[in-house]
């Protein structure tokens, strides 16, 4: 698999950044998470005046072979139909990207359909759908590595256009099953607690999903390699998002993490490149069962809790104005030294 040079930001500037934040015209610490975010962004960008530029939401779409086992209420064709819908506008992620000034980048990572050329969708298809991981690996380790490389390529593209903050979204029927498997592998949380309703399973449906995933886990015949286990149970869109996160951090970009599926991807990123933590901002805690458990397991604190479970990058994009507020705070607020106000605490 392609390797990345992800390093922790130089902390030499931290005292100067904190002095700036602590001497803004407010009681010390009174702007809470905004102050923490401002420190994080200033350290990543190595400046007292961080900025956000040309935000992008990269949405990877792919199908999952395990859907053949009835683990989702969404039929497979919804993936390509919704991807086409994104390209035309009018979906949830479209209005959010428009509202918050995000470029929406659509990528076919492995949709089980031949997307027509010229539809505004980048063709990086590995193949039409992963295999059914109940009976064998969803993808080979080689395919996993190819996905990582292609995800990094998309980030290179938006970065070359001036983007320095990126979120990732996904579309793919059955992808909560793959994410539940990653969550269990990465955190050790019992598989039963990693499984939820996905797009809307009822109680018997969730029980069936647990049965399928339990048998899949028991049938694993690979090695102890983390990459092999991620490939065996993952999705093409998840592996591409992983590569995108790696490359974004390597380039010094901020990564806004979306919901359950993208949190499982960032959990994998933490395991493989721990220093990526410095570049991650967790947008929200979603309504999918297990998301809060996973966030707690990896020590992540989300900015929002709105009951979202749409995916697509929606929660990450919704969180963007809070990050912008942190940037505006450090750049636009006066310091006590600059105005005639007595410092107070």
Question: Which residues, listed in sequence order, are joined to residue 57 by a DSSP beta bridge?
Answer: 104, 167
* Residue whose C-alpha is closest to residue 256's, from 89, 40, 109: 40
Alpha-carbon torsion angle 170, 284, 25, 165, nearest 10? -10
Structural tokens at position 211: 């049965």
Look up tokens 């962004």; give the residue.
Answer: 41
Q: Is the dihedral of CA 97, 61, 310, 256 positive or negative?
A: negative
List, as one string, the DSSP characters of 280-335.
Answer: EEE-B--SSTTHHHHHHHTT---SB-------TTHHHHHHHHHHHHHHHHHHHSPB
Active-site residue (options: 35, 237, 288, 312)? 312
Other beta carbons within 10 angstroms of residue 249's beta carbon come to 25
Q: Please enumerate in sequence order all residues whose Cβ is within 8 A of that of 41, keeping only pairs 6 or more positions apart, or say none.
A: 50, 254, 323, 326, 327
C-alpha distances (whole Å) from 19 to each of 29, 30, 34, 86, 266 are 12, 14, 15, 44, 31
Active site residue 170: no
Distance CA 319, CA 309 (A): 14
Q: Please enumerate in sequence order all residues whose Cβ is within 8 A of that of 299, keeping only pairs 6 or more positions apart, or say none.
A: none
Residues acting as catalytic residues = 312
């Amino acid at each position: 698999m392609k390797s990345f040079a992800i390093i922790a930001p130089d902390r030499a500037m931290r005292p100067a950044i904190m002095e700036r934040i602590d001497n803004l015209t407010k009681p010390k610490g009174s702007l809470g998470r905004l102050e923490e975010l401002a420190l994080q962004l200033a350290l990543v960008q190595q400046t007292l005046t961080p900025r956000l530029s040309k935000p992008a939401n990269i949405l990877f779409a792919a199908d999952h072979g395990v859907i053949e086992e009835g683990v989702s209420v969404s039929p497979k064709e919804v993936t390509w139909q919704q991807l086409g819908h994104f390209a035309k506008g009018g979906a949830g992620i479209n209005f959010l990207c428009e509202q918050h000034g995000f470029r929406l980048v659509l990528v076919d990572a492995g949709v089980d359909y031949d997307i027509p050329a010229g539809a505004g969708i980048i063709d990086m298809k590995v193949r039409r759908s992963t295999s059914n991981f109940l009976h064998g690996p969803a993808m080979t380790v080689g395919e996993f590595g190819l996905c990582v490389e292609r995800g990094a390529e998309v980030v290179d593209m938006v970065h070359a256009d001036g983007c320095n903050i990126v979120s990732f979204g996904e579309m793919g029927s059955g992808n909560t099953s793959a994410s539940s498997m990653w969550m269990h592998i990465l955190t050790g949380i019992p598989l039963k607690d990693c499984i939820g309703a996905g797009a809307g399973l009822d109680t018997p449906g969730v029980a069936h999903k647990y049965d399928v995933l339990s048998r899949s886990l028991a049938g694993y015949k690979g090695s102890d390699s983390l990459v092999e286990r991620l490939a065996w149970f993952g999705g093409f869109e998840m592996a591409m998002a992983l590569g995108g996160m790696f490359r974004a951090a390597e380039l010094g970009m901020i990564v806004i993490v979306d919901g359950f599926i993208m949190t499982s991807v960032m959990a994998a990123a933490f395991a493989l490149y721990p220093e990526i933590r410095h570049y991650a901002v967790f947008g929200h805690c979603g309504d999918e069962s297990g998301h809060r458990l996973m966030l707690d397991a990896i020590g992540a604190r989300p900015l929002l809790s709105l009951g979202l479970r749409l995916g697509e990058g929606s929660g990450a994009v919704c969180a963007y104005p809070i990050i912008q507020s942190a940037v505006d705070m450090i750049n636009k607020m006066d310091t006590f030294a600059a105005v005639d106000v007595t410092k107070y605490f």
